[in-house]
A and B are shown apart, each in its own frame.
Chain A
Amino acid sequence: QQQVKQSPQSLIVQKGGISIINCAYENTAFDYFPWYQQFPGKGPALLIAIRPDVSEKKEGRFTISFNKSAKQFSLHIMDSQPGDSATYFCAASNTDKLIFGTGTRLQVFP
């Protein structure tokens, strides 16, 4: 019930393409769903987050789509760039902890 399942494990996208990463959860008490971006050797940084009362949130090229009934949410990166190459983690929170997915390694080739 506390798990967040993330897929795919790795993703290769051509420059200018759309990158899509999916996450699923079981615990309906989760009320905050952030996405983190991590470059090699660095700490994760918050990229974008959503609450379950909205179905979509967009910030620049990054969009979260949220499906409450299916208990799924996804990150879409439009016009993917080589600088987006990183590991992306979804997470879910209820009160005092964040539960992280296992990560997706994104590689964007020019």
Chain B
Amino acid sequence: DGGITQSPKYLFRKEGQNVTLSCEQNLNHDAMYWYRQDPGQGLRLIYYSQIVNDFQKGDIAEGYSVSREKKESFPLTVTSAQKNPTAFYLCASSSRAAGAYNEQFFGPGTRLTVL
């Protein structure tokens, strides 16, 4: 069953702690993305990666870090430097095949609450 999995679905952390959100895909997609969604707002791009061992900052990368050691996995770490980390985090992936459009497939999301 192909798709994108994110875990956990709900995550609670104390202020000042780093936390890592998992994203795995078995779609054989080259590109992966992390977005943040706040109530009443659109999706804001945090980081994206087009190939293994390479990634670029999105519009709101401050306070976040990522790694892309495997094609299937793109974990996101929310560091203590992120001022307002409570949000709904979405992972997505897309094919980078020649001629393919940027059709992104999303995971179910992780809701992070920092207490």
Interface residues, chain A, with chain B CB atoms under 8 Å away: 6, 9, 31-32, 34, 36, 41-46, 49, 51, 89, 93, 95-98, 100-103
- Chain B contacts of A89 at CB under 8 A? 42-43
Report the separation of the CA atoms of residues A106 and B73 in the bound assembly, to the nearest whole angstrom.
34
Report the separation of the CA atoms of residues A103 and B44 in the bound assembly, to the nearest whole angstrom.
12
Establish whether residues A97 and B43, one from each chain, have CB atoms under 8 Å apart when the complex forms.
no
- Chain A contacts of B103 at CB under 8 A? 32, 34, 46, 49
Establish whether residues A96 and B41, one from each chain, have CB atoms under 8 Å apart when the complex forms.
no
Report the separation of the CA atoms of residues A93 and B96 in the bound assembly, to the nearest whole angstrom.
13
Interface residues, chain B, with chain A CB atoms under 8 Å away: 4, 6, 31, 40-43, 45, 48, 50, 58, 90, 92, 101-109, 111
> What 7 pairs across the A-B complex have the smallest Cβ distances?
A43-B106, A93-B102, A102-B42, A32-B101, A100-B42, A100-B43, A44-B106
Known: A41-B109, A42-B109, A96-B31. A103 touches B104 (CB 8 A): no
In the complex, how many angstroms separate the beta carbon of B94 from the nearest chain A beta carbon?
8
Establish whether residues A98 and B109, one from each chain, have CB atoms under 8 Å apart when the complex forms.
no
Report the separation of the CA atoms of residues A46 and B41 in the bound assembly, to the nearest whole angstrom.
18
Report the separation of the CA atoms of residues A46 and B101 in the bound assembly, to the nearest whole angstrom.
13
In the complex, how many angstroms separate the beta carbon of A101 from the nearest chain B beta carbon?
6
Report the separation of the CA atoms of residues A101 and B40 in the bound assembly, to the nearest whole angstrom.
11
- Chain B contacts of A9 at CB under 8 A? 40
